[in-house]
Amino acid sequence: MTGVCLLRLILAVAALTVCRAQRRLSPSGLYEKSGLVCLNGGTSVLSPSGRHMLCFCPDGFSGSSCERDESVSCFDGMGLHYRGSVSKSESGRECLEWDPESVREFGAYPKNLGPGRHNHCRNPDYSSKPWCYVRTGSRIVKEDCDIPRCAKDHGWQCGQREERNMKVVGGALSAVERHPWMAAVFSRSARGRAFTCGGSLISPCWVLTAAHCFPDGTKTSLHKLSVFVGKNAINETDAQREQELRVSQLFIHEHFDNTDGNYNNDIALLKIRSPDGRCAKESSSVKMVCIPEVHQSLSVGTSCEVTGYGREQEGLWYYSQYLREAKLKLLSQDVCSSKEYYGSMITDNMLCAGSPDWSADACKGDSGGPLVCRVRDRVFLFGVVSWGEGCSRQSRPGVYTKVSNYYNWILEKTGLPSLS
């Protein structure tokens, strides 16, 4: 593509400089610069150093990467990112404007509604679909909106699983159908293929895992990596359940840092494909997990689950043969960063979870795997297994990468329109 003019925004001196830079349009329709992307024809604004700062979006598109089509008449997933203009409920009533006064009786003013004051249908609270408040007589009630789901080629919906009860440290044996987004990363060496880390399937073509799983960083030999989804046992093959995929791309977070021994920004993405060039295929044992929106958080004490093939207790030299799960509760940031726990090693990019009696925890070998929590009728990936002192030690809970902080980073690297 020929050179085009970009605006170079210099915030320090509040001046604009017109420059020429090379930019190419990829087959997927993303404008790429410095590894970050602006979708749908958005213009990347650069700092003087040439780093991407933000996207200027064309009319009809919004979002940090111009990923949201505001003209759409349908919604994906639960419609968390629906930004269309439908403003009537399923009963035909006109939606009330989103403002504190009209919804004061419902408590906190909803967020994530898009720019400006409006009465368009939205889903700010993880309901099953976009909705709005309407007036019926003297009452204000919440009603779903009459918006159809968008048709998708792959037809997947995130965060759904079989709810079977089946009897990680202190955990119990699980079935991959209960955690169908579970991925297992293997690395091939002269001694053969060995299990390396866990991961989570976030779309048919992408797995989210931990950055520290790749000690060679950007020099990692991708041809030596393979990813299994639908795998119930590390050393067994079940052709009816599992799929083996190759790795074509690896993105390690640019600010991953272990200088202080705490794995800050411990997150990475793997693009996967089967030998025939396709991505993962949906089945009862292979599904994708939902990703929470930017800075979406859950209350302290929320019950979540961690899964993995790691050691069943500290000190064992071998990993678990089968997938295991453990139920944990989220801890407050104040507690986890207190002197009695981890102190200043905890950053805003981390969250902690443990069991009240310290009997359950993630352990060595669980790295990169999912910490998932249920929100209404879907399962969301709130944490990536990152680090901790020992396993199941008192006042030493597992530390997880806070996935909601990386929502936009994931969109930028994958080019996905949404993650719901």
Closest residue by Cα to residue 186 from 195, 178, 175: 195
Residue 257: phi and psi, rounded to 5, are -150, 125
CB 19 within 8 A of CB 8: yes
Active-site residue (options: 44, 81, 174, 266): 266
Q: Helix, strand or coil for residue 219?
A: helix
Exposed / middle / buried, residue 166 (Cβ in 10 Å: 0-12, 13-18, 19+): exposed
C-alpha to C-alpha distance for 407 and 412, rounded to whole angstroms: 9
Active-site residue (options: 367, 386, 404, 418): 367
**Known active-site residue 189:** no
**Known active-site residue 91:** no
C-alpha to C-alpha distance for 301 and 167, rounded to whole angstroms: 23
Residue type at position 251: F
Q: Would strands 398-402 and 139-144 be described as parallel, antiparallel, or unpaired?
A: unpaired
C-alpha to C-alpha distance for 10 and 156, rounded to whole angstroms: 42
Exposed / middle / buried, residue 271 (Cβ in 10 Å: 0-12, 13-18, 19+): buried
Q: 324 - beta bridge partners?
A: 173, 308
Q: Which two tokens stand for residue 404?
A: 């909601």
DSSP state of 247: E
CA–chain centroid gap for 185, Å, is 18
Alpha-helix residue ranges (DSSP H) falling in 233-354: 333-336
Q: Which residues does 199 contact at the CB level (< 8 Å), separation at least 6?
A: 182, 183, 184, 185, 207, 208, 209, 227, 270, 368, 369, 370
CA angle 377, 378, 382 (to 5 degrees): 135
Active-site residue (options: 212, 285, 392, 420): 212
H/E segment holding residue 414: helix 407-414
C-alpha to C-alpha distance for 229 and 201, rounded to whole angstroms: 8
Q: Which residues does 257 contact at the CB level (< 8 Å), separation at least 6?
A: 263, 264, 265
C-alpha to C-alpha distance for 342 and 419, rounded to whole angstroms: 32
Residue type at position 217: G
**Known active-site residue 212:** yes
Active site residues: 212, 266, 367
